[in-house]
Chains A and B, each alone.
Chain A
């Protein structure tokens, strides 16, 4: 009896301790990289912690990498917040998640003096608004790329050039799009071309009437969608099984499917594309800060930057990666625009967190919680 009472007390106090310890103070950034702690917990996009560069890292540094993959920025934010931020050391956050992580005090400032490759990062990405706030760097820009239109060339023989195909009734039941509120921006970008009278200038800054129009379009699309994909591997399965013939994708799925022998092609349609710019960020409660810095330095080397770019189908932030890319796959530097980045860079509408303030100084735009509700209405 007494033993059980003690047990109960112990359990209660254990619960309370974990509750309080989550409120522990954030660490200050490292001033020098010390000895490896032996472990590194990584939260990353699928395809961002590939054995091709994880294995050499583990051998070189002695940091054992533990990976958790996510399929959306929301999932990434939710995962990093679990356990008070102690469950991960580094995260590969996209521009629509990074600010939420900074303002939620989930990540800590980065000491860029400890990152030799920092000087080689393309100028646009050294201190972009999505990872640098008031001149404090909270992340190191990693890679970036466009969301593409992907189709099975056996089922759709004429190459589509417009996003209109994923809203076209002729393809009812074979369309797949991401299960992600930020997908609203893709529809907004499309409407900014087909319905200019709506006045959409930035697909992430939508007023209520503009959102209503976008939701109406997306609700029509729902009837045509086979499945909303949550993980990149879901979409790969859908194309493999023949359940989907066309959809919104990342270049990563197209590369994976081609490697598996599925005849797919991908393109940036004439309306342009949304895209991502990712940064590696360090947890405010990182248990292995040395390994975290060692990891960032490893993945920022031109070699890994090139490997990552080719395996995912994106563009490296490190300007020195171009030669490495061509060495791995001749012509790939040009193919992924790693040489002429500034013009191409400005053509992509990068993911960002929708906020109430519109770019024009007004406060009539919808914030991200409104986007999440709208997306639920679309999916029903």
Chain B
């Protein structure tokens, strides 16, 4: 009796989240999946529900879209590598070099930007990188020539690396904290140089942290369209921008859905890869 009650209780607990996911998440995903195989009438803007692979044919035959997909992935990779390099020293200091009070202070400082709107922070970068912005003002002060960074892929790289750095840092701090001090001591006792300790002990044990961070830096960059719109220039289109303009501007939802599916596949493949490196292992 009590067993049955307990089971019922468990089911009751599971229904709301699963109901929510089922209706709103899987439901909208399946609509997306379906509409990718439809088309839109250019004049009336109505969706024509005839099954067709035309959207995918255009996606894979027109080099425009493979260029955009490669740019999206390339910048996402670059941002991930940049954030890993930037996060290492700080993560090491926070995880192993400072006392609990300073550690808390540093972690709060890292998380602080996340409390303000992402849009405001991207606009701030526009003001920094713009032609008459803070960067060029500083360069002129020290007598260096102006730089035209605003509205380029370099601006995009800088802004993305800035935006996602905290998301790389946090899992790396967690991973580095978990390395037992005894392992480092043992490596030292056996005569390993600091570089050897890093290469053979610390780095391999930090891989799950980097993999978890890269889920944010890589996957989220791939799906972004706001930063390319605001700080990107001519030739900075991301997959997200093509999706956005097809939905919000051209009203071509089926084509947007088809490209979204391709993006979904790319992100899913990356998630599987990240899982192999322990990104999702709760420890």
Asked whether, in the complex, the Cβ of B250 is within 8 Å of the Cβ of A74, the reply is yes
1/0 contact string of A235-268 vs chain B (CB within 8 Å): 0000001110000000000000000000000000
Asked whether, in the complex, the Cβ of B234 is within 8 Å of the Cβ of A78, the reply is no
Query: Which residues 1-35 in A have Cβ within 8 Å of B in the complex?
Result: 1, 4-5, 8, 11-12
* Chain A residues with a Cβ under 8 A of chain B: 1, 4-5, 8, 11-12, 72, 74-75, 77-79, 81, 99-100, 103-106, 173, 222-223, 225-228, 230, 241-243, 353, 355, 367-369, 372-373, 376-377, 379-380
1/0 contact string of B136-154 vs chain A (CB within 8 Å): 0000000000001011000
Point out the residues of chain B lying under 8 angstroms from A79, CB to CB. 248
* Chain B residues with a Cβ under 8 A of chain A: 8, 11-12, 15-16, 19, 23, 40, 42-46, 58, 62, 64, 67-68, 126, 130-133, 148, 150-151, 229, 232-235, 237, 242, 245, 247-252
Distance between B209 CB and nearest chain A CB, rounded to angstroms: 36
Pick from B40, B151, B237, B245: contact of A380, CB under 8 Å: B237
Distance between B43 CB and nearest chain A CB, rounded to angstroms: 5
Separation of A372 and B256 alpha carbons in the complex (Å) = 13
Contacts A12-B23, A100-B43, A380-B68; A227 near B12 (Cβ below 8 A)? no
Main secondary structure on chain A at its contact with chain B? helix
Asked whether, in the complex, the Cβ of A78 is within 8 Å of the Cβ of B247, the reply is yes
Point out the residues of chain A lying under 8 angstroms from B245, CB to CB. 376
Distance between A164 CB and nearest chain B CB, rounded to angstroms: 19
Contacts A8-B23, A380-B68; A368 near B234 (Cβ below 8 A)? no
Point out the residues of chain B lying under 8 angstroms from A11, CB to CB. 23
Separation of A369 and B39 alpha carbons in the complex (Å) = 11
Separation of A49 and B42 alpha carbons in the complex (Å) = 29
Look across to chain A and name the residue whose beta carbon is closest to the beta carbon of B136: A242
Contacts A100-B43, A243-B150; A226 near B233 (Cβ below 8 A)? yes
Point out the residues of chain B lying under 8 angstroms from A4, CB to CB. 12, 15-16, 19
Asked whether, in the complex, the Cβ of B44 is within 8 Å of the Cβ of A100, the reply is yes
Look across to chain A and name the residue whose beta carbon is closest to the beta carbon of B58: A373
Separation of A11 and B23 alpha carbons in the complex (Å) = 9
Look across to chain B and name the residue whose beta carbon is closest to the beta carbon of A379: B237
Asked whether, in the complex, the Cβ of A81 is within 8 Å of the Cβ of B45, the reply is yes
Contacts A376-B64, A379-B234; A78 near B248 (Cβ below 8 A)? yes
Pick from B46, B64, B151: contact of A227, CB under 8 Å: B151
Distance between B192 CB and nearest chain A CB, rounded to angstroms: 50
Separation of A131 and B242 alpha carbons in the complex (Å) = 30
Point out the residues of chain A lying under 8 angstroms from B233, CB to CB. 225-227
Asked whether, in the complex, the Cβ of B45 is within 8 Å of the Cβ of A8, the reply is no
Pick from B44, B126, B247: contact of A104, CB under 8 Å: B44
15 new A-B contacts, CB < 8 A, other than A74-B249, A78-B251, A227-B151, are: A4-B15, A5-B15, A74-B250, A75-B249, A104-B46, A106-B45, A225-B234, A226-B151, A243-B150, A368-B42, A369-B42, A373-B58, A376-B242, A376-B245, A380-B237
